[in-house]
Structure 1
Amino acid sequence: MDFVNLPYELAVQNISGMRVARELGAARVELAQALALGGLTPSRGTLESVLAEAGDAGPEVHVLVRPRAGGFHYGPDALGVMVRDVRDAISAGAHGVVVGCQQADGTLDRDGLVRLVDAANGASVTLHRVIDTTPDPVASLRTARELGLRRVLTSGGASRAVDGIAVLRALVEEAAGGIEVMAGSGIDQHSVRAVAESGVDAVHFSAKRTVPANAAGGSVRMGSASDGVGGYEVTDRDTALAIIAALRGAVTAA
């Protein structure tokens, strides 16, 4: 496999993350907020700013649409919000969206996914790691392919993609080129080569680090006004560079 040309997607939360992705040549970014919570739908202002920073030659911007933290079994109200957010992201200029929803039994919510794909109006739709929480990821991939989704983001059902390689290989075999398989979750410079060797179409990583609360200036005080106040996460250029170097260097080491 040609790891030199293997696309990668960087999960970012803001303009500075896009700058790193653009500088390093990412194929795409997944734009979200609150990655510490697993990622939530970013604001319209964040999306517009990141699109402007990307420009015409920058990475594609794919927007995570997730209305709350927690599981992916949504009622009518939450699903209605997601449909609106998909339409809004595409109308703002996003190249695609990243979505997922499931039934109470853990299987994919086909009807909900159909609504989300329809709302994207032909733009690229990625199924996020809800696939890793379904009873049968291979069957879920078949469903995603049947519904016309472009790709799935998966760790192979494990907490870290490097620990789900057997399932990743099974997903690649099942996909047979009819839907892209992108591996993500916990990918770092030490694991990216092994994950790439599973045959996936792309890799996804966040390369983030935490900025301590005192680095932002001021002090954190006790009391209700400061509940939840602490550090925040940013895309780390050096970490991303190390992962890319390990990925691109894999072809000469093979």
Structure 2
Amino acid sequence: GMSTATGPRVVVPGEAVQAIPDSGQLRLGPGLISQDEHIVAVRSGVLRQNKSGQTWLEGRQKRYIPAEGDIVVGTITDRMGENFMVDIGGPFTALLPMLSFEGATRRNRPNLKAGDVVCARVVGAPRDMEPQLSCVDALGRGAGYGHLKEGVVVTVSTAMARAMLGSPPPAVLTALGASLQFEVAVGMNGRVWVCGASTNATILVANAITSSEFLTPTQQNTLVSRLVAQVQ
């Protein structure tokens, strides 16, 4: 079997995980394929193996389970009746009523289309049904919610999202803020919207955020310095 003394082994896509054993049964679970003489990872994750020899990759991305009060970043997929349908990465597509926007009335509805990104809060999260979202606070104000124009959305783990929403923020955000102008909206669902003063800045910030989760604060600062030096 695999040595566990070194702790869990994290693998990246394309990495040869181990040689295919000559004898015994080879049972590959999700995330792994056999290629030539090796077992190869097709996504990032932690390598696991049980006593019967089944080998699989456990993704770091735990599925997001919506909870009431969560702030989420999502992408509109459709309109149905009085609602926008929003992908927030959970088990169900979320419902966002068209009237749940600041200043929205039956005659004046937000003109959003599939592919548009919104920042919203979860106002209802029944266990086996679509969660309900709102783009206003309890007093009916937009308060930072609503349509996020321009920019890009990247996916991080829910743990990274929580760290980015925490105080103090991760070193990567502080270092980026010292060198560049950008806006960021972090969803508890692991979706992060980034919009920089230029396209280059947007891409740089997005790259820095997605690359930094498993780096120490010092490594995060070095990463940002290196990226910033490339665009200036």
**TM-score, with length taken from structure 2:** 0.24
Q: Which is strand-richer, 1 or 2? A: 2
Q: Which is helix-richer, 1 or 2? A: 1
**TM-score, with length taken from structure 1:** 0.23
